[in-house]
Amino acid sequence: MILELKVPHGADLAALRPVLPVFLTYLLSYVFLGIYWSNHHHLLHATKRVTGGVLWANLHLLFWLSLIPFVTAWMGENGFRPVPTAIYGGVMLLASIAYFILVRVILAAEGASSELAAAIGRDTKGRTSTALYALAVPLSFVECWLALGIYIFVALMWLVPDRRIESRIRAR
Amino acid sequence: MILELKVPHGADLAALRPVLPVFLTYLLSYVFLGIYWSNHHHLLHATKRVTGGVLWANLHLLFWLSLIPFVTAWMGENGFRPVPTAIYGGVMLLASIAYFILVRVILAAEGASSELAAAIGRDTKGRTSTALYALAVPLSFVECWLALGIYIFVALMWLVPDRRIESRIRAR
Amino acid sequence: MILELKVPHGADLAALRPVLPVFLTYLLSYVFLGIYWSNHHHLLHATKRVTGGVLWANLHLLFWLSLIPFVTAWMGENGFRPVPTAIYGGVMLLASIAYFILVRVILAAEGASSELAAAIGRDTKGRTSTALYALAVPLSFVECWLALGIYIFVALMWLVPDRRIESRIRAR
Amino acid sequence: MILELKVPHGADLAALRPVLPVFLTYLLSYVFLGIYWSNHHHLLHATKRVTGGVLWANLHLLFWLSLIPFVTAWMGENGFRPVPTAIYGGVMLLASIAYFILVRVILAAEGASSELAAAIGRDTKGRTSTALYALAVPLSFVECWLALGIYIFVALMWLVPDRRIESRIRAR
């Protein structure tokens, strides 16, 4: 992800003001992609068999993640209006479903009795965030800031990396 | 490959309409490059000797692949007219020939009796798609949608990753 | 980091003149990012345990580093005026603090008695540059060129890669 | 290196004409960077000790290589005029010197009696291309096409990857 901040022409703080919303949406995208990257790192690190299905589930996830900068910018540059906020939630929903699929495909390759299967368990946090995104999409049309609040809540919920996998690996 | 969707200024669904064809061509490029990346991953994973020839055959393939986003966008933004559709097919044809060359160069380095040679065998799928691309180029001037249908057919044919190599590796 | 030099239309040396300040700021960014990359390479090479905390401390550092091209360009294109020069120093300050945090998080994971802890020791050079950046921010409002002089001094101070870690590894 | 071909608006071959010079300079940059990448791959593959000096010599080389797309585009878009052609040669000269320095720094770390030192030997090809670039810079002001001919000659001379190193490794 490349930061596309246009260099302002003025040399005072006022010149930075038009850059600010783009900067904040960059920060938001960065945090979300950081969360996925970090959990993804732990997940693939614990994966021993990379099958064709794993590669494709991974590509599927990366497809939705590659749309995050676009939908974040669209939402941010329009002052958080209903349609962009709902579409943002839709892409986040599809990315979280794609992550869910990736986990299942990896578990299918690793075996249900594997260490990874035990570490992930019921995956309450993953299911909760998928449900919250599904809730935020219609909510965007009622009250945008409620949907945005849900997005920030999910981000905070995940900011702690997936210690379930990590602690299991450490315990070995 | 970077998604270059310009953020629209409006905040309703109508504002997304001009972005739609670019999005669809991005999706098509993504699928084709994903197919190459996935098969490429399996191929190089099974390669034990990286000679200078392998490096260059790889660079040759990457050259044609690097043109795919350009020709896809050109074809998509003009509503699938003859010349762009034919040139799209031409680049896909050259990429498939480059992949064929890469496979041969790797096999030459690995030896005809290698596991990889046995796994690839007669490479019917590779030869078929090269022939289909060669057919699609002149067909573009007769009926664009026929050529486009061939491109989508080849994509679907390859969406299943190269299980030949994978299953051999698994069998070990 | 991508060099975004617009190709000038003229074909003589005069046509290169508007590109020159962008080139010089590119050079400055390149040197600073090279310093971080080189020390970062040595640091992570000596790290044996990548915990979730290390991943996040690393992402935090990369966030500030990703802003360097933007603030360098803003400072350079405005002829080194107070506000951009101070903000440049602020980003460098936050990047150096993020590097400090990364070192601490890695040391916490590795253990105080680890080889890396001994190699880094009191980290005088790191603390000095953090202090110098903190000094340069207010100085920018007094005399820009003094702040710029500090930035160049810190760059020169770090141009020698972190031989502490390197020499310890070599000594093994 | 990203291919920055603007998608033309027309849908016939004539619409491709303005893209052609950019495409050809992209091809030239691709070949030169491919040569460096391939030899670089062989060189670093044979390197056993990555010291701070090696990292910096590598960064130095990458700096000049990162300028190649810019100078190639500048030369190509102006129809091969003296100043851009000379500056192109200058950057190629500095890149070849940087490669020479990288080889020396690696040899210093590996030891004069190392396998790599024996494989590289007198490095006639490297010295020849440095000399040819040094010749092409002033020649650009006499006759551009002569300088361009030298660039293409050097490219062809290097298109065969560095078999010296490769054959030694194979011989083990």
Instruction: Give the tens place of pLDDT for each residue, B54-102.
Output: 888 888 998 998 888 788 878 877 777 899 999 999 999 999 999 999 9
3-state SS string over B51-85? CHHHHHHHHHHHHHHHHHHHHHHHHHHCCCCHHHH
User: What was the pLDDT predicted at D146?
Assistant: 93
Contacts of D150-159 with C-beta under 8 Å, sequence gap 24+, read D150/D89, D151/D28, D151/D88, D151/D89, D151/D92, D154/D92, D154/D129, D155/D28, D155/D31, D155/D32, D155/D35, D157/D125, D157/D128, D157/D129, D158/D35, D158/D39, D158/D125, D158/D129, D159/B56, D159/D31, D159/D35
Interface test with A, best of B3, B4, B7, B37 (most A CBs within 10 A): B7
First to last CA, chain D: 35
Alpha carbons D106 and B93: distance in angstroms, whole number: 42
Nearest CA in chain B to D159: B56
Partners of A59 on chain B (C-beta within 8 Å) are 30, 34, 37-38
Asked if the model's pLDDT at residue B112 lies above 60, the reply is yes
Partners of D74 on chain C (C-beta within 8 Å) are 7-8
User: What was the pLDDT predicted at C5?
Assistant: 66
* Highest-scoring range by mean pLDDT, A154-163, C148-157, D90-99: D90-99
Q: Do D52 and C37 touch (CB under 8 A)?
A: no
User: What was the pLDDT predicted at D89?
Assistant: 93
User: Comparing C-alpha atoms, which of C76, C64, C5 is closest to residue C36?
Assistant: C64
Asked if the model's pLDDT at residue B2 lies above 90, the reply is no
Q: Do D3 and B70 touch (CB under 8 A)?
A: yes
Number of H helices, E strands in chain D: 8, 0
Q: Do D7 and B74 touch (CB under 8 A)?
A: yes
pLDDT band at D4 (very low <50, low <70, confident <90, very high): low
Asked if the model's pLDDT at residue A70 lies above 70, the reply is yes
Can you read off the two tokens belonging to residue D36? 């460096």
State the DSSP code for A121.
T
| Residue in the block written with tokens 């790797």 | B106
**Stretch A126-143: mean pLDDT, rounded?**
93
| Percent of chain A surpassing pLDDT 70 | 85
Interface test with B, best of A56, A70, A72, A94 (most B CBs within 10 A): A70
Alpha helices in B111-162, H assignment, sequence order: 115-120, 124-142, 144-159
**Stretch A114-140: mean pLDDT, rounded?**
84
Interface test with D, best of B4, B22, B59 (most D CBs within 10 A): B59
Instruction: ipTM value, please give it.
Output: 0.72
pLDDT band at B172 (very low <50, low <70, confident <90, very high): very low
pLDDT in tens, chain C (172 residues): 455 567 777 888 888 887 777 787 778 778 888 888 888 887 877 777 777 788 888 889 989 988 887 888 788 777 778 999 999 999 999 999 999 999 888 888 877 667 777 767 677 888 899 999 999 999 999 998 899 889 888 888 877 655 555 555 554 4
pLDDT band at D94 (very low <50, low <70, confident <90, very high): very high
Nearest CA in chain D to B66: D3
pLDDT tens per residue across span D46-75:
777 777 788 888 889 989 988 887 888 788
pTM: 0.73
Nearest residue, CB atoms, B161 vs list A2, A55, A69: A55
Q: Does the beta carbon of A55 lie under 8 angstroms from any beta carbon of chain B?
A: yes
Q: Does the beta carbon of C59 lie under 8 angstroms from any beta carbon of chain A?
A: yes
Residue D105 Cα to chain centre, angstroms: 19
Residue D133 and residue D93 in contact, taking contact as beta carbons nearer than 8 Å = yes
User: What was the pLDDT predicted at B70?
Assistant: 83
**Stretch A4-9: mean pLDDT, rounded?**
72
Residue B76 Cα to chain centre, angstroms: 17
Q: What are the structural domain ranges in chain A?
A: 16-171
Q: Does the beta carbon of A37 lie under 8 angstroms from any beta carbon of chain C?
A: yes
Asked if the model's pLDDT at residue B52 lies above 90, the reply is no
User: What was the pLDDT predicted at A92?
Assistant: 93
pLDDT tens per residue across span D106-156:
888 877 667 777 767 677 888 899 999 999 999 999 998 899 889 888 888
Q: Do C52 and A161 touch (CB under 8 A)?
A: yes
Partners of A70 on chain B (C-beta within 8 Å) are 3, 5, 7
pLDDT greater at residue D21 or residue C131: C131
User: What was the pLDDT predicted at C52?
Assistant: 77
A and D touch per CB criterion (3+ pairs under 8 A): no
pLDDT band at D98 (very low <50, low <70, confident <90, very high): very high
Alpha carbons D57 and D98: distance in angstroms, whole number: 7
Q: Do B73 and D38 touch (CB under 8 A)?
A: no
Asked if the model's pLDDT at residue A97 lies above 90, the reply is yes
D and C touch per CB criterion (3+ pairs under 8 A): yes
Chains contacting C with at least 3 CB pairs below 8 Å? Answer: A, D
User: What was the pLDDT predicted at C172?
Assistant: 44
User: What was the pLDDT predicted at B3?
Assistant: 54
Residues of chain D numbered 72-91 and touching chain C (CB < 8 Å): 73-74, 77-79, 81-84, 87
How many CA atoms, within 13 angstroms, populate the side-chain half-sphere of residue B76?
18
Asked if the model's pLDDT at residue B125 lies above 70, the reply is yes
Nearest CA in chain B to A53: B161
pLDDT band at B131 (very low <50, low <70, confident <90, very high): very high
Helix (H, G, I), strand (E, B) or coil at C108: helix
Chains contacting B with at least 3 CB pairs below 8 Å? Answer: A, D
**Stretch A98-103: mean pLDDT, rounded?**
91
Q: Do C30 and D63 touch (CB under 8 A)?
A: yes
Residue B64 and residue B95 in contact, taking contact as beta carbons nearer than 8 Å = yes
- Mean per-residue pLDDT over chain D, rounded: 81
Measured between CA atoms, how close is C124 to chain A, in angstroms? 31
State the DSSP code for B114.
S
Nearest CA in chain D to B75: D11
Nearest residue, CB atoms, D70 vs list C3, C163, C166: C3
User: What was the pLDDT predicted at C1?
Assistant: 45
